[in-house]
Structure 1
Amino acid sequence: MTELTISELVRSLTREVPDFPEPGIQFKDLTPLLADRAGLAAVTAALAEAAAGADLIAGVDARGFLLGAAVATRMGTGVLAVRKGGKLPPPVHSEQYALEYGTATLEIPAEGIDLAGRSVFIVDDVLATGGTLAAAHRLLEHCGAHVPGAAVVLELSALDGRGVVAPLPVTSLHLI
């Protein structure tokens, strides 16, 4: 038996859920991947390789928290949770971004963490339309961080999220 590539491993451990959260959507559930010891270890190693040299990992709400914490632990860095709006006590730094029907906000604490001049690498689960990742990038840079790149487990290439986040370099472990 041959060893799977990281892309093949992600594909084999991703569950497809038709018509969720609404008809016509093919939801990509990474829960089986995260629950698999070898899968989680391989994904963590690949994401950490992409983030090499960063001082801090920023995990995007919510599955990015799990991945970001695993990557930070492997790298010996800290992890910063980039939260959805309204989840943190004030004061916060925030960045609003467009959704298909409305807007959303990402936040990080405004006190207790100095990002000025730090190299902060973004980790998330999926790159779809790119709005969330682009907002996280802007938020971190507005706080003085240098963002050398981002990495995701899964990229839905037909939605062109990569074009939205350009010129930020993005590493994807598996493209669909």
Structure 2
Amino acid sequence: MSSIYGDYIKSVIRTVPDWPQAGVNFRDITPLLQNRAAFRKLVDSFVHRYQELEVDAIAAIDARGFIVGAPLAYELGCSFVPVRKKGKLPFKTISETYSLEYGQSTVELHSDAFREHDRIVLIDDLIATGGTMLAAASLITRSGGHIVELASILDLPELGGSEKIRDAGYSVFSVCSFNEDE
């Protein structure tokens, strides 16, 4: 599912061919963040989606998820919880390791981030293979939170992440999506 602003948001995202390696089309959200009207429409897309859902917290994945997660939490009047890369949180944490194309990575969450049955929206900048989102979702569930939805600015459906997330039983929302040939 995408937003009413999806086509507009997509038009503002820059595609950088052959970066970081040949054959890869990197989707650069920097122009989106630099364009005040587009950035407002982006945040509004998420606000309109979640304003009636009684969300207790926005959990955002390090680091680009923070860009949208913090203003979204502010607009919804709920808390903001960072899901960080290993070693970045100063208090007692729980962690989840997941596979990448080139190895493994670990995300962490403060052990006291949520109360039992808190309603959480998990957000990041994009969904590619789904590994980071699923690891973060596992942390939230292990901590007692209830995931309302996993959300992103953009989805890269050909990489299979959003399908993998749905297969794991989660609802997925992206403002826009890109096919590999776009």
Percent identity of equivalent pairs:
36
Of 48-57 and 123-132, the range deviating more from structure 2: 48-57
Tell me, what secondary structure is at the counterpart of 1:144? coil
| 1:12 shift after superposition | 1.5
Deviations 1:53-83 (A, max 9, x none): 2110001111100100011111111110111
Which structure 2 residue ranges, 5 or more long, are not aligned?
Answer: none
Change in CA separation of 1:114 and 1:173 when aligned onto 2, cut-off 3 Å:
closer
| Partner of residue 64, structure 1 | 65
TM-score (normalised: structure 2): 0.89
What SS does structure 2 have at the residue aligned with 1:126?
Answer: strand
Match of 1:114 in 2: 114
Return closer, same or farther for 1:73/1:90 CA change in 2, 3 Å cut-off: closer
CA distance in 2, matches of 1:157, 1:88: 31
SS of match in other structure, 1:66? helix
1:169 aligned partner, one-letter code: S
Name 2:161's counterpart in structure 1: 161
- Runs of 4+ residues deviating >4 angstroms: none
Partner of 1:36: 35
Q: 1:175 matched to which residue of 2?
A: 177
Residue ranges of structure 1 left out of the alignment (5+ in a row):
none
Contact 1:50-1:151 within 8 A present in 2 as well: no
- Tell me the residue number matched to 2:135: 135
Q: What TM-score, normalized by structure 1, do the two folds share?
A: 0.92
Take 2:42 and 2:93, find their aligned partners in 1: how far apart are those partners?
31
Equivalent pairs counted in the alignment come to 171
- Secondary structure of 2:126's partner? strand
Q: CA deviation at 1:49?
A: 2.6
1:164 partner amino acid: K
Is the CA contact 2:10–2:177 (under 8 Å) kept in the aligned structure 1?
A: no
